[in-house]
Chain A
């Protein structure tokens, strides 16, 4: 049973370009969370999605950031017109809808560097 997959693992973009981060949840998991982690800082919640639905995007900036989790395929976190402040590690986590708790399994992260 493969764990949570993220790609790319490292992404370099110039200011103004777009960044697309992908997350494939664990098999059978229908809930995906995205977090941002700045160096030496904690995990900041960005968005929570279920298949085809955004449940909570309260942690995501209103501009330039968007997320989706289509019926088929991975969840995508999209950052348009990147700025240097977007440089961070972006982790996704998934969980099963059927579990009696909220255990989340994290992917290896995508480290975004904006030049």
Chain B
């Protein structure tokens, strides 16, 4: 089955600096890579995702990059703000075009702290 590794497990940055979280996956058939943000005591919420036919995607201060050959993908947050403090999970999945069955495998999570 799929195995997703994520690092670092904790990350502290000064407000305004950038934060980078990296993940690797094992199943070369995975083609959908979402990122979730979970604030303390709240539900995980999708913040950005990328499909395997795209190398990079950006949404305001958040960007994701994907290297299919190396089987790794990263989340980049620029100009960090205190409200970015949360746990971030990467995940990998085969999409609907891969036989119908889908299961998302999550990384262990990265606790990001943005220091004002």
Q: Which residues of A contact B (CB under 8 A)?
A: 31, 33, 35, 41-45, 48, 55-56, 58, 91, 95, 99-109
Residues of chain B at the chain A interface (Cβ within 8 Å): 1, 32, 34, 36, 42-46, 49, 51, 89, 93-97, 101-109
A108 x B43 contact (CB < 8 A): yes
Provide the residues of chain A in CB contact with B106, threshold 8 Å: 35, 42-45
A-B contact count (CB 8 A): 61
CB–CB B43/A106 < 8 A: yes
A95 vs B93: C-alpha distance when bound (angstroms): 13
Main secondary structure of the interface of B (DSSP, over half): loop
When the two chains form the complex, which single residue of A33, A56, A101, A109 contacts B43, counting CB atoms closer than 8 Å?
A: A109
Q: A42-B107, A42-B109, A43-B106 are in contact. Are A101 and B51 (CB under 8 A)?
A: yes
Q: Is the CB of B96 within 8 A of A45?
A: no
Residue of A nearest to B109 (CB): A42
Which residue of B36, B49, B102, B103 has the most chain A CB atoms within 10 A of its CB atom?
B102
Across the interface, do B108 and A41 meet the contact criterion of CB distance under 8 Å? yes
User: CB distance A106 to B45 under 8 Å?
Assistant: yes
